[in-house]
Amino acid sequence: MHSGPSAIPLPVLILIPLVAFAEIFIIFPVISRVSGWNALAQRFRYDGPWNGHLWKFRSARFPAFTNYNGCLNVGAGEHGLYLKPIWIVSYCHPPLLIPWHEITYRTEHGFFGEVTVLTLGSQEQIPCRIYRKLAADLAEAAAAHGCQQTF
C-alpha cells in the first residue's frame, strides 16, 4: 500500500505546458481577429502612457461571443476611450485609444438587464457591450475632461 503523495503522470506534465502554449499563441490571435480587436488596432493602437480615468478588471463582450470578463482596463479621457487587456491576455491585443467621434452607442435590454452597446470605429463598426454602470462612469469621466460624450 502506497501512503505518500501520488505522482502526476508524465503525459499530464507534458500536456499542461502544451495547452498553455496553444492558448496563448494560437487561441489569442484567433480571438483578436474574430472579436474585431485586430481590426481596431489597425487604426487605434496606442502605445503611449495613459493619463485619464482608468477602471481596472472590467468586462466587455465583443462579436463572436468573445467575452473579456474581468480582464480589461478601461479608460476615459480627453482624447477618447482607452482599452487595454491585462498582461496575460495582451498577446495580439495591443492597447487601443478610440477617439470619441469614432464611437456611437445604443442601449439594449439583455438577459441580465440593460447594457450599453458601443459601436467602435466609424469604418470598423465593432460592437462592444458593457454594463450600464461602466458606461455612466465613462460618460462622467469624459465630461470631466471637457467632452460631451453620453451613453
Residues near 122 by beta carbon (within 8 Å), at least 6 away in sequence: 101, 102
User: Residue 105 sits in a domain of what CATH number?
Assistant: 2.30.29.30
Give percent helix, percent strand, percent coil of the chain, each to the nearest 5: 35, 35, 30
Is residue 21 domain-resident?
Answer: no
Is residue 86 domain-resident?
Answer: yes
Helix 28-35 and helix 37-44, axial crossing angle in degrees, nearest 10: 80
- By CB atoms closer than 10 A (0-12, 13-18, 19+), residue 59 is middle
pLDDT for res 9: 84
Is residue 59 domain-resident?
Answer: yes
| Total-model pTM | 0.85
At 42-53, the pLDDT tens digits run: 999 999 999 999
Which residues are 126's β-sheet partners?
120
Amino acid at 90: S
At 62-83, the pLDDT tens digits run: 998 899 999 999 999 999 999 9
| Domain enclosing residue 75, as ranges | 37-144
At 17-41, the pLDDT tens digits run: 888 887 778 888 999 999 999 999 9
At 98-119, the pLDDT tens digits run: 999 999 999 998 777 899 999 9
Give the total number of structural domains in the chain.
1
